[in-house]
Structure 1
Amino acid sequence: MTNSILRLDASLRETDSYSRKLADDLINELTKQETSRVINRDLANGIPLINSNWIKANVTPFNDRTQAQHDQLALSDQLIEELKSADQLVVALPIYNFGVPATFKAWIDLVSRSKVTFTYTDTGPKGLLTTKKLYIIVTSGGTQLGSELDFISDYLRHIFGFIGLSDITFIDSTRLGKDTAGTLLNAHTQIKEAITDQNRPMI
């Protein structure tokens, strides 16, 4: 059976991007393990922001939507289908101004849909996506993951868990501006360890 990997690139730098290069390395390691199909979703190529027409279409029951409303939700439907069809996710995510890139937030808004990827129950919200392995590569020039200035890791755990994705491994490649070579070496070590852990048999 072919393993399916969804790769998301959020860096607006299409060349000389550390997050993209590390994602290449991680994908190479993952595809060594088994036959894999990689779905590439480059958010730098344009992810539209949701607007009032999109929100109205989203809250309209499926059978009551006009064709224009179905068209409004077409990209969202496609992005959600990519998520559903993937066995593993690789997210290459730089930190911009202490937060996630706007293109990534736009993607989150398009895939977080009530009764599609999450629902509310008597005991609280429930994610509707099946559990998948999620790798998040985080890069920054100076903001350190896990520090008091890290405002994204808890957000990422929460929002992905909200739609049902809770098996998350972070690849920390932050503070590249302080020690580029050492940070990249450590990131590659984390990638190797993550793949080793994934392939370790259950006891």
Structure 2
Amino acid sequence: MNTSTNVKNVLLINSSLNGEQGNSNRLASEFVAKLSEKFEVKVTERDLAKDPLPHLSQAEMGAWMTAANDRTEEQVQLADISDSLIEELKNNDTLVIGMPMYNFGIPSTFKVWIDRIARAGITFSYTENGPVGLLESKKAIIVAARGGMYAGTPKDSQSQYLKDVLAFVGITDVQFIYAEALNMPAKDENVILARQAMDVTAEALI
């Protein structure tokens, strides 16, 4: 491990229904392990499949829009869901996301997380020129695992969406590591390629 004072606070988010056996979970965890070989790393883990968040409701949004001193006990509890997730995100400088592809899109559990961390006046603000993200100086590395080959094609609905929604809250330094064709005969070769990409990405963070 690097013994310098260069500490990286890493938020690892996984959402595979297959847990530790999921390709995206395994590879994202491997990437964080590679980082720990090069830096002093403090990792916060959030498994959105193991501990799913409830879908966003009007009552919860209403709690956000109520002044803190005026909230009911229920509204305090509802607002705390989003507040705690945003605080967790703010406290980490590097975001590592294990991203499986389900039916050409992101897992619904991850969308629920996005719905909680994208809040006007807190993680972005509206200006006369449009929305401006408020979470700055953060890097996101997305380890995207897919059963087929989608990167760079119109069927990849994940990549642009993730870049757009993260930029919306101010995270514009976004990098993808793709592990594709994992349900096809070339799986082993493509996992090797993904691991090589992880090595290069980890080295570039020094």
The alignment status of 1:181 with 2:196, answered yes or no, reads no
Q: Secondary structure at the match of 1:114?
A: coil
> 1:98–1:143: 8 Å Cα contact kept in structure 2?
no
DSSP-derived class of the 1:97 partner:
coil
- Runs ≥4 residues deviating over 4 A: none
CA distance in 1, matches of 2:142, 2:65: 31
Q: Is contact 2:142–2:176 with CA below 8 Å preserved after alignment?
A: yes
Q: Is 2:20–2:26's contact at 8 Å kept on the other side of the alignment? A: no
Deviation, 1:64, is 2.8
Conserved 8 A contact 1:118-1:127: yes
- Name the SS for the 1:193 alignment partner: helix
Contact 1:127 1:161 in 2 (8 A): yes
Distance 1:31 1:65 in 2: 42
The one-letter code matched in structure 1 to 2:191 is: L
The answer as to 2:14 corresponding to 1:9 is yes
CA distance in 1, matches of 2:61, 2:143: 31
**In the TM superposition, what whole-angstrom CA distance separates every residue of 1:129-188 from its partner, at most 9, and x where no partner exists?**
122111001111114122121111110000000001010110101221122101101100
The C-alpha deviation readout for 1:97-129, integer Å capped at 9, x for no partner, is 000000000000011111111110111101111
Cα RMSD (Å): 1.2
Matches within 5 A, 1:167-178: 167-178=173-184
What is the rounded CA distance, in whole Å, between the counterparts of 1:131 and 1:15 in structure 2? 30
Match of 1:83 among 71, 89, 95: 89
Kindly indicate whether the alpha-carbon contact (under 8 Å) linking 2:180 and 2:187 is maintained by their aligned counterparts in 1: no
Matches within 5 A, 1:36-185: 36-44=41-49, 45-178=51-184, 179-185=186-192
Instruction: Give 1:66 deviation, angstroms.
Output: 2.2
Q: Is the 8 A contact 1:8 1:42 kept in 2?
A: yes
Q: Gaps (5+ residues) in structure 1?
A: none
Number of corresponding residues: 199
Partner amino acid for 1:39?
T
How far apart are 1:16 and its partner, in Å? 1.8
Contact 1:136 1:169 in 2 (8 A): yes
Residue 193 (1) aligns with residue 200 (2): yes
The answer to whether the 8 A contact 2:132-2:170 is kept is yes
Identity %: 35
The two structures have a TM-score, normalised by structure 2, of: 0.92
- TM-score, normalised on structure 1? 0.94
